[in-house]
């Protein structure tokens, strides 16, 4: 103890170094360290991350899986490929860690949310591919419902706007279009789940068909006030209640991995949608705190406390988490294309060979050369919610080069985030004081500096940017006693880098004005005749 004190006082070593020392000492001295395995099942890849009780990452494994685009605007995954990829990274992460399954105190699961899977509960086989949250095939169905009911009817119950993004219309499409699917549902032989439900069902060998409120609240079928599946909404979408999972809290032991699993006997102790998990992992535990995850899309959440705030600016009111009997709510803005834009520049345009190269390309020019990029590849999300918008690059002149286009692409991520956060401020009456950021694209210094410039607030990146995985690990650890309180968890959060505004306000407003004009020109393009 005296040794550690001397290190802290005289050497001023970072706390993470102390934590690593303690971890290594625990191994040497035989002290029992507790570990949490986080399963982070995302849109393009599956991850497994093992954390110790100081939130250090002990090991991590990652594996991409195929994306399927059967028709324009359609996006699908194979549920069995999701399962296989997730299971393989669990094995890999354990192998890298030199730990055994007996060292794992609990498992937390976090997942891409609205993505919809229906499977035969007797055979365990999906009746169709998973329809991904990005998929727009049900746009015409949603248009009909809007004309009949309007948005307000659904928002008052679910906190959501009526959009193909959410699970309900995807479920209905499968029931209506896949042979025998509806008959199986009516016989009680069909199960629906978001990806968390599918993984739990697989890991428990079919014993548990469950979800948590953060995922249930993304279906357009869950009443966020009454905390139940809504019978009237089920009737509207013609979905049998029998196919829906039981809703449990976000932090409790809900089951154990099965004997047939490589990791049998471990308690599954947390479930949370990926963005809610990231909010928890960023330790945004108090009303008014906000985070932005720069992943495949951008997802911004603002903690609104114990009561939902129904948006007047087309934000989403959603359940952040439920711990015990206490429910915490959030406002959310969803941006469909963010990190996926960098992938597109890499895979389709060949502007870069690796995603990490994009910052170097962008820094070759001092500005965007007058170019603005609206990445509405599958429509545009918050606060516009236009499924018929399409991508647009405007302002091109003879002097524009690849670097200008790449810079405009990265700037579009920050512009979209700006629009969402300003709408949230108006809805909630909360003035943003800082923005905590994470996700793969948060490693890009250009994006974060530009984000701080146009928002005029500090943008803060934590040392652990795997906050989605960390959030579900923290929720799982709370359930099994690795941490005894929120206060204990809060003390573990550490800053990696803080970005402060540098641009002049007079420079910012003209850029925003042109961005908004570009967005307007991209809207409803698909319907233009």
Write a three-state SS string for 171-201: HHHHHHHCCCHHHHHHHCCEEEECHHHHHHH
Within a domain: residue 378? no
396: exposed, middle or buried (Cβ count in 10 Å: 0-12, 13-18, 19+):
middle
10: exposed, middle or buried (Cβ count in 10 Å: 0-12, 13-18, 19+):
exposed
- What confidence tier does 232 reach under pLDDT thresholds 50, 70, 90? very high
pLDDT value at residue 134: 87
Same-domain pairing of 237 and 96: yes
pLDDT value at residue 511: 96
Same-domain pairing of 106 and 232: yes
Same-domain pairing of 118 and 242: yes
From the list 291, 529, 267, 516, the residue with the least C-alpha distance to 416 is 516
Same-domain pairing of 10 and 64: no
248 neighbors 213 (Cβ within 8 angstroms): no
From the list 305, 159, 324, 331, the residue with the least C-alpha distance to 250 is 324
Within a domain: residue 475? no
435 neighbors 460 (Cβ within 8 angstroms): yes
**CA-CA distance, 157 to 163, in Å (whole number)?**
15
Q: Does the pLDDT at position 14 exceed 70?
A: no
Backbone angles phi, psi at 8, to 5 degrees: -65, -45
The number of folded domains in the chain is 2
Within a domain: residue 165? yes
Query: Higher model confidence: residue 372 or residue 262?
Result: 372
**CA-CA distance, 169 to 163, in Å (whole number)?**
8
Same-domain pairing of 167 and 97: yes
Domain that holds residue 166: 38-273
Same-domain pairing of 66 and 145: yes
pTM value is 0.84
Q: Which of 219, 244, 273 delimits the end of a domain? A: 273
Residue 333 parent element (H or E): strand 326-335
Same-domain pairing of 1 and 85: no
pLDDT value at residue 381: 84
**CA-CA distance, 410 to 444, in Å (whole number)?**
9
Residue 460 token pair = 């803060």
In this prediction, residues 234-253 reach a mean pLDDT of 96
Within a domain: residue 423? no
Report how many helices (DSSP H) and strands (DSSP E) the chain contains, helices first.
Answer: 18, 23
pLDDT value at residue 27: 47
Helix intervals (H) in 363-480 = 402-428, 445-455, 467-480
Within a domain: residue 252? yes
Whole-number average pLDDT of the chain: 90
Q: Which of 227, 252, 273 delimits the end of a domain? A: 273
Same-domain pairing of 130 and 62: yes
In this prediction, residues 224-232 reach a mean pLDDT of 96
Within a domain: residue 225? yes
Residue 485 token pair = 């309180």
Q: CA-based Rg of the chain, rounded to a whole angstrom? A: 23
Q: Please enumerate in sequence order all residues whose Cβ is within 8 A of that of 78, keeping only pairs 6 or more positions apart, or say none.
A: 65, 66, 68, 126, 129, 130
pLDDT value at residue 150: 86
Backbone angles phi, psi at 213, to 5 degrees: -60, -30
Query: Higher model confidence: residue 18 or residue 222?
Result: 222
The string of pLDDT tens digits covering residues 467-516 is 999 999 999 999 999 998 898 999 998 999 999 999 988 899 999 999 99
Same-domain pairing of 113 and 234: yes
Secondary structure letter of residue 401 according to DSSP: -
Same-domain pairing of 139 and 20: no
Backbone angles phi, psi at 112, to 5 degrees: -55, 140
The string of pLDDT tens digits covering residues 49-94 is 999 999 999 999 999 999 999 998 899 999 999 999 999 999 999 9
Same-domain pairing of 9 and 93: no
Within a domain: residue 246? yes
Q: Which of 273, 298, 327 delimits the end of a domain? A: 273
From the list 123, 255, 131, 136, the residue with the least C-alpha distance to 194 is 131
Same-domain pairing of 243 and 94: yes
pLDDT value at residue 351: 87
110 neighbors 472 (Cβ within 8 angstroms): yes
The string of pLDDT tens digits covering residues 134-190 is 899 999 999 999 999 987 899 999 999 898 989 999 999 999 999 999 999 999 999
Within a domain: residue 308? no
Q: Does the pLDDT at position 363 exceed 80?
A: yes
**CA-CA distance, 117 to 194, in Å (whole number)?**
6
- What confidence tier does 465 reach under pLDDT thresholds 50, 70, 90? confident
CATH code assigned at 73: 3.30.420.40
In this prediction, residues 200-224 reach a mean pLDDT of 96
pLDDT value at residue 3: 40
Q: Does the pLDDT at position 10 exceed 50?
A: no
Q: Does the pLDDT at position 6 exceed 50?
A: no
């Amino acid at each position: 103890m005296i040794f550690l004190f001397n290190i802290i006082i005289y050497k001023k070593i970072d706390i993470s170094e102390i934590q690593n020392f303690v971890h290594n000492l625990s191994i040497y001295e035989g002290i029992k360290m507790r570990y949490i395995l986080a399963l982070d099942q995302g849109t393009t890849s599956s991850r497994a991350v093992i954390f110790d009780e100081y939130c250090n990452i002990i090991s991590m494994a990652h594996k991409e899986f195929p994306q399927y685009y059967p028709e324009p605007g359609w996006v699908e995954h194979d549920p069995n490929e999701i399962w296989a990829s997730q299971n393989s990274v669990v094995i890999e992460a354990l192998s890298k860690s030199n730990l055994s399954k007996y060292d794992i105190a609990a498992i937390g699961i976090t997942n891409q949310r609205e993505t919809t899977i229906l499977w035969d509960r007797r055979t365990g086989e999906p009746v169709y591919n998973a329809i991904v949250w990005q998929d727009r095939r049900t746009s015409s169905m949603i248009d009909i419902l809007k004309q009949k009911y309007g948005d307000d009817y659904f928002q008052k119950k679910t906190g959501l706007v009526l959009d193909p993004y959410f699970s309900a219309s995807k479920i209905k499409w499968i029931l209506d279009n896949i042979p025998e699917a509806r008959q199986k549902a009516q016989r009680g032989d069909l199960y629906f789940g978001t990806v968390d439900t599918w993984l739990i069902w697989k890991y428990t060998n079919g014993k548990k068909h469950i979800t948590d409120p953060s995922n249930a609240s993304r279906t357009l079928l869950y009443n966020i006030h009454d905390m139940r599946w809504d019978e009237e909404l089920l009737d509207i979408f013609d979905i049998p209640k029998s196919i829906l999972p039981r809703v449990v809290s976000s932090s409790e032991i809900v089951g154990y991995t099965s004997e047939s699993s490589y990791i049998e006997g471990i308690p599954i102790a947390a479930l949370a949608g990926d963005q809610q998990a990231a909010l928890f992992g960023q330790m945004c535990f108090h009303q008014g705190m906000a985070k932005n995850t720069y992943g495949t899309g951008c997802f911004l959440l603002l903690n609104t406390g114990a009561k939902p705030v129904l948006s007047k600016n087309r934000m989403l009111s959603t359940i952040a988490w439920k711990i015990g009997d206490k429910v915490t709510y959030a406002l959310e803005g969803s941006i469909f294309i963010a990190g996926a834009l960098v992938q597109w520049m890499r895979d389709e345009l060949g502007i870069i060979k690796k995603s990490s190269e994009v910052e170097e390309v962008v820094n070759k020019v001092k500005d965007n050369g007058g170019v603005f990029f609206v990445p509405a590849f599958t429509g545009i999300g918050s606060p516009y919610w236009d499924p018929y918008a399409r991508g647009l690059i405007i302002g091109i002149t003879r002097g524009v080069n690849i670097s200008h286009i790449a810079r405009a692409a990265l700037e579009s991520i920050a512009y979209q985030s700006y629009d969402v956060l300003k709408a949230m401020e108006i809805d909630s009456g909360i003035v943003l004081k800082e923005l905590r950021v994470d996700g793969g694209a948060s490693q890009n210094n250009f994006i974060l500096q530009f984000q701080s410039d146009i928002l005029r607030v500090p943008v803060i990146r934590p040392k652990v940017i795997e906050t989605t995985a960390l959030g579900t690990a923290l929720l799982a650890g709370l359930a099994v006693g690795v941490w005894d309180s929120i206060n204990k968890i809060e003390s573990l959060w550490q800053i990696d880098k803080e970005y402060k505004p540098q641009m002049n306000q007079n420079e910012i407003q003209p850029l925003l004005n042109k961005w908004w004009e570009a967005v307007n020109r991209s809207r409803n393009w698909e319907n233009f005749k």
